[in-house]
Structure formats: structure tokens, C-alpha cells
DNA sequence: ATAAATGCAAATAGTTTGCATGCCC
DNA sequence: GGGCATGCAAACTATTTGCATTTAT
């Protein structure tokens, strides 16, 4: 076995390529979500010939394969992060600071949805907006 | 007083126009969120000369004025709905059916966030995805 | 060898902007 | 009448697609 991601792809008849490796490694090291543009810029440092089309295609592909996760944050654009532990985001609408929220906190809410609506919730990712402690003191609501 | 929305705009030095009235009326009658494109198409039936630029400008303006609310749903595009009661959405990822979720259900979650993170949450709108009761029987997870 | 993946370039979708004209108050 | 708002057209951003070439297996 070469590495888990490579094996995962090969077992499905797909290939591991330098471009895919670079994107995975960028997301692993980022430790936070990145936009396609941010990813593209970092890619060019490792692979100068890489194009935006490849970034988008690769992100879609890796999402299908479950290796990365897309998330909606403000301004309606998708951002991506490495698929590891389940969590959600809390974003400060004043300073933009992002915090992770563990999935467990949402479990009881999902439970209530299930009971009152019959829906089986499977949102992988939800983003909440608010004011972080620091900004609550400086920003006028 | 002519109507509440008109008064609201005039009191701020803005004007009520046929275009704004049509968009507000479309959103009131829709009873659900609509995309800019859907709004544009319905506008043209009432005001054939209307352009997409005006739709976008008007939606941004009405959002600033608090008369309509933007919401993120799947695929990263913004949709709009009339500003009335606070609620959230539950969308079936199989059939696309949308259900409203009362804001009260999220209050206790917000409370927990507040305690454990210090954030003051003010998300006006959160969308959850899942499977509606009907689709749970027909769709393979 | 062969099918998958990339690079390149062009196309598409969604949204925003500048500017002259029109129209609400 | 004065200034806000619209229509028109063009610009812009983000993303997708077709096709020839390259490359992982």
C-alpha cells in the first residue's frame, strides 16, 4: 500500500496524479477550508503548469471520492477542506475568524428534527454566523 | 400611509417603484424562496422591459432595507424570500422538497454555542439537508 | 497499450458596473 | 426640479466543457 488516498482511488479504477497529491497535501496542511483560488495559487508553487480547470475538476473529483468536503460559507462560494473528523463552522461576521464546532453539539438538534418532521438529517456541514467574543465589544450591532 | 414597505423606503429617502413593488409582490405570493432567475422570469410577465441587472440591484437593495432575506441553499447560489417570520430550511436532497423549521428549535443550540464558545450567534438563516420521509423509503443511502 | 487525466482555450453562468435616460416625490 | 432608479450594454468573476495530448497503471 502506497498511501490510503492512492489506494482508495486505484481500487476504483482511478489514478493518483501529482496534481491530486498536491491538492490533498495542501488541504491537509492548511488545517482549514480553502477556496478554489487559494488552492490554485498554492498549487502553482509546486506545479507551475497547473491550471484552474484542473483545480476545479480535481476538487469535484475528490469530493465525489469522499476525500475532501465542500462547505458553504459567506458570499455563496464553495470552499474545501480535507475529509477527516466531522465538524461544522462558526464564523465571526465582523472579523471573519472561523471556529470549528464539533458534530456532537448538533446531534440533539438532529434528533429533534427527526421527531418533529420525520426528516433524516445528513447535512455533512453547516455554517453558523455570529460575533466572536472579541468583536462583541468593538462592533455596534 | 400607502403601504408599510413604501413608507419604510420613503422614510429613508428612497423611492417605491413599479419594479420594487413587483418583486415584493412576487416574493409575498411565492411563499417560498426564489432564485434571481425565477424572480426575473416572473417579473417579465408583469413588466416586460425589466432587466436582470435591475433584479439583482433591487434584491440587494431590498435586502439592505430588511424587506427581503437572502438564504444559501445547495449549489452555492443565493435565493431570496420575503422578510416575515424567522425560520430556517430543511431540504430533501433526493426530491428537493423544502420544509420550514421554526426558529425556536434552534434557540437551545444557540444557547449551547454561546456557553461553550463565547460566540453570540445571529445567523438569520440556516439550511439543513436530509431525506424527507417519502424519500427515505425509495432512495438508497 | 489503453483508458484516465491534464492543459489549453473557449464557452457558459451568474452577477456587477458605467453611463445616459427616465421617473418618483 | 433634483436626485434616485432603471435600461442597456459591457465588463467581470467563477466555473465548466471540448478536444488534442500526455501519463499512470
Q: Read off the pLDDT of residues B68-112 as tens digits, 9 standing for 90 and up.
A: 998 877 666 789 999 876 778 888 877 777 788 888 888 888 888
**Could you tell me which of B59, B65, B18 has the C-alpha nearest to residue B39?**
B59
Q: Do A12 and A65 form a contact (C-beta atoms < 8 A)?
A: yes
CB B48 within 8 A of CB B18: no
Backbone CA torsion sign across A12, A15, A16, A22: negative
pTM recorded for the entire structure: 0.78
- Local structure of B108: helix, strand or coil: helix
Average pLDDT score over chain A: 87
Beta strands in B5-139 (DSSP E): 68-72, 78-82, 87-92, 98-102, 120-121, 127-131
Please check whether residues A29 and A94 belong to one and the same domain.
no
The answer to whether residues B103 and B133 belong to one domain is yes
Q: Do B17 and B70 belong together in one domain?
A: yes
Same domain, B101 and B39: no
Chain C bases closer than 7 angstroms to a protein Cβ:
3-10, 14-18, 23-25
Under the banding of pLDDT at 50, 70 and 90, the label for residue A80 is: very high
Q: Quick check: A57 pLDDT over 90?
A: yes
As a whole number of angstroms, the distance between CA A95 and CA A97 comes to 6
What average pLDDT score do residues A73-78 get? 72
Q: Both B78 and B116 in a single domain?
A: no
Give the C-alpha separation, A82 to A32, whole Å: 8
Final residue belonging to a domain, choices A56, A84, A112: A84
Domain ranges, residue B53: 1-84
State, as a whole number of angstroms, the distance between the CA of B139 and the C1' of D6. Answer: 47
- Indicate yes or no: strand D within 7 A of the C-beta of B133: no
Number of domains, chain B: 2
Amino acid at each position: 500500500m502506497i498511501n490510503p488516498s492512492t489506494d482508495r482511488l486505484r481500487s476504483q479504477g482511478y489514478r493518483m496524479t501529482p496534481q491530486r497529491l498536491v491538492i490533498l497535501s495542501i488541504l491537509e496542511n492548511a488545517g482549514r477550508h480553502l477556496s478554489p483560488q487559494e488552492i490554485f495559487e498554492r498549487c502553482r508553487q509546486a506545479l507551475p503548469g497547473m491550471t484552474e480547470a484542473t483545480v476545479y475538476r480535481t476538487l469535484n473529483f475528490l469530493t465525489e471520492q469522499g476525500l475532501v468536503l465542500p462547505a458553504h460559507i459567506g458570499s455563496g462560494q464553495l470552499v474545501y477542506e480535507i475529509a477527516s473528523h466531522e465538524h461544522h463552522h462558526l464564523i465571526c461576521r465582523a472579523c471573519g475568524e472561523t471556529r470549528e464546532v464539533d458534530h456532537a453539539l448538533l446531534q440533539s438538534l438532529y434528533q429533534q428534527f427527526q421527531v418533529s418532521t420525520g426528516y433524516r438529517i445528513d447535512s455533512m456541514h453547516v455554517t453558523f454566523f455570529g460575533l466572536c467574543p472579541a468583536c462583541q465589544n468593538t462592533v455596534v450591532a
